[in-house]
Amino acid sequence: MQKTNVMRILDQKKIAYQPHCYENTGAVSGMEVAEVLGQDVSQVFKTLVTVGGAKKYYVFVIPVHKELDLKKAASAVREKRIEMIKEKELLPLTGYVHGGCSPIGMKKFFKTVVDETAARQDTIMFSAGKIGYQVEVSPEDLKKVIDFSFADITKKL
């Protein structure tokens, strides 16, 4: 298994993590990733990048089986409204491609909010910055790497 930049950052910060790898068949849904890795969907998270007023960018990390509630998300970052960025903007803005976006190691740090359900998990899994690679860390350890807050940011199913 290759080390990704996310894994190198975790190593530098001496954060324990469990790497997970799956066959890279291009961008796949988070649900498919959870299934392939045999993980509970409530433990596997996806990283979404949005833009609000005055071109301020925000990162939201939510369970793969849920949808971001844009109103709740805007409220969590004190914006009137936010919207998802266009896929073509993701790589130049973050350094990551669609399907491989991680809250750790973006080109620039953006205000980050993690869905409150993560606080109830021993560990959460998210992209290691490359399609086919995931890392599993505790929410407490993630706090040692990036600054984020917890909030209710998903739609009720």
How is the chain split into domains, by residue range?
A: 5-151
The CATH class of the 5-151 domain is alpha beta
Looking at residue 22, its pLDDT comes to 84
- For residue 25, how many other CB atoms are within 10 A of its CB? 10
Q: Could you write out the three-class secondary structure of 9-33?
A: HHHHCCCCCEEEECCCCCCCCHHHH
* Residue-level pLDDT at 30: 82
**Dihedral sign, Cα of residue 70, residue 72, residue 74, residue 77:** negative
Distances (CA, A) of 21 to 51, 60, 140: 30, 23, 23
Output phi, psi for 53, to 5 deg: -60, 155
Contact 102, 6 (CB under 8 A): yes
CA atoms of 8 and 42, how far apart (whole Å): 26
Which is more confident, 64 or 53? Answer: 64
Across residues 69-98, what is the average pLDDT?
Answer: 95
pLDDT at 27: 54
Mean pLDDT of 56-68: 96
For residue 60, name the pLDDT band (cuts at 50, 70, 90). Answer: very high
Q: Which pLDDT score is estimated for 62? A: 97
Q: What is the pLDDT of residues 1-55, one digit of tens each?
A: 789 999 999 999 999 999 998 876 665 688 788 788 888 889 999 999 999 987 8
Dist CA 135 CA 150 (whole Å): 19
56-64 average pLDDT score: 97
pLDDT digits 0-9 by tens, 108-147: 999 999 999 999 999 999 999 998 899 999 999 999 999 9
